[in-house]
Structure 1
């Protein structure tokens, strides 16, 4: 995606500046996505001992209503369309948890939006123990009912690793909290996919539909992810109040070498 000029730069919150305002991209008759560069005070998160997150989209919505949920009571750390990891390690030692937002503070470095309101670029950093350890560079675009993301993760310190939940579930990476998630059905590779406790091989594209009679504004949502250009084919899928996740890297942490950017991609297609 072509870089956008930072003509409408939104600076990160600080002691002397307010929390950046959310930025909307999309079209009036298609998919709309509200980008939160940096969340302000969230009482539910404070009670859970979590820091405010940043760089997530909520709501994703169609003219008929919202598709995502934010900070639900059952999983207060879920936040619309987001990306996070249970394991953030430095030199092999646990340093933070970007999923639960503990041990880590997120700060927005700036957001720009295209003149037609369909694209944005954003930069943010993770801070652990007073040091910036990772930089996120995000490009997002909405065309009609399709949303694409390109996310670059660049380590700012040596010895940084990321991993999903260190258990049989193994979730981590690009995640989506849909409305009425306890009524979802899944298809991948032209077949029905049954949710399980751990990751399931569902192929590079998962189609999510709801039970008949569920009050949702669309027929289905399709989601596909990549890691450094390769399709992600393992998924954590839940027919319960939870999120859906294309698994990267899984429970075993992977190293992010200095001087290299890991690229995660997402394509989300809404069927009206």
Structure 2
């Protein structure tokens, strides 16, 4: 007989289709005789359905140009690229375990909650509540405060403050105003990926964003208006955590 905690882990893995045929059979037998487990599975699937609408399931990867620029800033292309290639090879060979699937589901639920929080902050921009939230984060000793420095020919920088809950603010009002057909876009460097953290507009101000994971750096690029899933534009400013 499977322990109760193991069954809950299996159920989370089952919800994201990360179980073996044998484990699938065990879960389906348990579901047939346990209405509480069926209710829990429905809750898992509801969260996944909401995430499918609210969160891009395919994290963006950088264009070769952007990643080369970031890699060069870190330590040089020749040193960084083999390391990243090794990480990608290992990740490609990994199969979801029950433990990994449970963590993945928890991370997805957290992403949904953070997305709602950022939406609320966007609605409050320019209000006293918005300014108070920024000040409280600046006063938090655990927050990351980062200054993005110019990475190319544009004389520009930006500042970011990021809380331990993954909610942050980017101060980009010093960036030069772009043509209406262009926009600035914020990217977060998480592990060996560069994921979009928000479209800032052609004349950016202070903007909230959210990111899930251990952030190694940030970059701001110039893209076509509306933003892009994969950057092909010029890198304007970069900050690297351990540089």
* TM beyond 0.5: no
- More helix by percentage: 2
- More strand by percentage: 1
